[in-house]
Amino acid sequence: MQLTAPRRLRDSLTVATCSLLSLDAAHADFFDAKSLRNVDSAVLVYTEQDRVTVIEPVVQFKKELGDGEFLTVKFVYDAMSGATPNGATPTNTVQTFSGPSGQNSYTTAAHKLPLVSFEDTRVAVSLDWELPMSRGLRGQYNVNFSRETDYTSLGASASFLWDVNNELTTLTAGIAANLDQVSPTGGVPVGLSALSTTVAPENDRRVEREEAEGSEGGGDGGSKTKTGYDLLVGVTQVLTRRTLMQLNYSYGKSSGYLTDPYKIVSVINGTTGETLPVNSGGYLHEKRPDTRTRNALYWKTVYHLPEDVVHVSYRYYWDNWGIQSNTVDLTYRLQLGAHDSLEPHYRYYTQTAADFFTNSIVDGNTPNYASADLRLAALHSNTVGLRYAHALDSSSELGLGVDYMHQTGDAHPASAIGVQKNEALFTDLKTMSVTADFSMKF
């Protein structure tokens, strides 16, 4: 394929966000196969070593409503299970934790990273509407909804793409907004309050939930909300018949309840490094700031060789929590004849720690904010992957992809105290994901 059709390649690079405004009875035959344009489906199996497993089937239908006007419906289902770090630091003694409101206690052996087991499901649906607005100007609109046991999200977005310079340049601008509700099991915990350590009768658990709601301003059932918006501007440029480049800048802000209600932080003796007894406040619920601003610069180039295609991208991110990250991504599409292709893939990611990240809190020195969530720690990861695709005919394709990721961090930071120096405060994470997909054009 040559770069003689720049719009098709530009569309493959441009961020397609935005919101469905209306549907009328004329589109009631959306799922009629005769009028569908594309059907895409995939199943993802994601596993973390000794931790989380996710199975995610996805199906997407795309239909042409008119000349250049398209409607896309996407359905996602996630089944999640396994174990995840609760935030407590490993130590030299057995640790016993209670679940929300003193329920479902569990134990972690000495010198092991404390993990808590969970199961959950998530369903999501999104609608995308794309239409020409005038010569060279296109609008893309989206609404999306997702629901899991303790989290509900509603979002909408709109973006506009303007082709100029004889369709060799595309200018992009977009805006997105979301409203989320967090409804943790047992109610919203008070930030930096002591973790409950005893199994309470149901009436006492009800009182605890009510107290938490009163202290933190929680809504009915101990729920909290958070809102956010994102802005994006970008340009995509055809440089030569074989080279395409994109540059985007995005800004976002989130406000409201941004804390993870299930994460805790260990409180340790400032001399020995040992975790305090549970009845002496040895574990506190984490607390994060209630606002977060995000910035990102993104660059991508696609170069088409006589048969193969090279994709390379770089992303720089920074926010007001103190996190800065760099992401480099490289994909090479190797064409194996008329029907088959291989896509080796490599991704490198590194980030600094959030300002309030801490492995533990020294007794008597409780800060305004604290989180021991390892996702907010300084870390880096390497991902390698390979995807094989086979074209069944001119309108359908099967694909199979595998990715392996290894994430590492500082297991023995200089801030470790006493017995902590003998513990791995950051445990490496290894993940494997397998994706099988099928697409058909009509």
Average model confidence (pLDDT) across the chain: 88
Lowest mean pLDDT among 5-14, 79-88, 137-146, 298-307: 5-14
pLDDT at 10 over 90: no
132 - beta bridge partners? 138
Break the chain into its structural domains and give their ranges.
Answer: 6-19+33-441
**What CA–CA distance (Å, rounded) separates 268 from 275?**
4
Label the pairing between strands 264-268 and 361-362: parallel
Percent of the chain with pLDDT over 90: 81
pLDDT at 200: 38
pLDDT at 35: 56
**Length of the chain as a residue count:** 442
pLDDT tens for residues 335-345? 999 999 999 99
- Chain centroid to CA 289: how far? 19
Domain 6-19+33-441, what architecture?
A: Beta Barrel (2.40)
pTM metric for this prediction = 0.87
| Coil, strand or helix at 132 | strand
Lowest mean pLDDT among 35-44, 224-233, 365-374: 35-44
The residues, ordered by sequence, that sit 6+ positions from 227 with a Cβ below 8 Å of its Cβ are 177, 178, 179, 180, 254, 255, 256
Angle at Cα 345 formed by Cα 339 and Cα 351, nearest 5°? Answer: 155
pLDDT tens for residues 188-197? 999 999 987 5
pLDDT at 16 over 70: no
pLDDT at 153: 98
pLDDT at 226: 98
Lowest mean pLDDT among 19-23, 262-266, 437-441: 19-23
Select the more confidently predicted residue: 358 or 104. 358
The residue-averaged pLDDT of 56-73 equals 94
pLDDT tens for residues 127-167? 999 999 998 999 999 999 999 999 999 999 999 999 999 99
The residue-averaged pLDDT of 179-201 equals 82
pLDDT at 202: 42
The residue-averaged pLDDT of 428-439 equals 98
**What CA–CA distance (Å, rounded) separates 347 from 314?**
10
Q: Can you give the three-state secondary structure of 207-247, one letter per residue?
A: HHHHHHHHHHCCCHHHCEEEEEEEEEEEEEEECCCCEEEEE
pLDDT at 352 over 50: yes
96 torsion bin: left (phi>0), alpha (psi -120 to 50), beta (else): beta
Residue in the structure block whose two tokens are 């303790």? 150
pLDDT at 103: 62
pLDDT at 206: 42
pLDDT at 186: 86
Positive/negative CA dihedral, 353, 358, 364, 366: positive
Of residues 327, 307, 331, 330, the one with CA closest to residue 318? 327
Within 10 angstroms of residue 271's Cβ, the number of other Cβ atoms is: 10
Lowest mean pLDDT among 79-83, 194-198, 402-406: 194-198
pLDDT tens for residues 236-294? 999 999 999 999 999 999 999 999 999 999 999 999 999 999 999 999 999 999 999 99
pLDDT at 212: 39
Torsion angles phi and psi, residue 330, rounded to 5: -135, 125
- Torsion, Cα 365 369 373 374, to 10 degrees, reads -80
Give the pLDDT band (50/70/90) at residue 99.
confident
Give the pLDDT band (50/70/90) at residue 223.
very high
Helix (H) or strand (E) holding 10: helix 6-13
| Coil, strand or helix at 109 | coil
pLDDT at 203 over 70: no
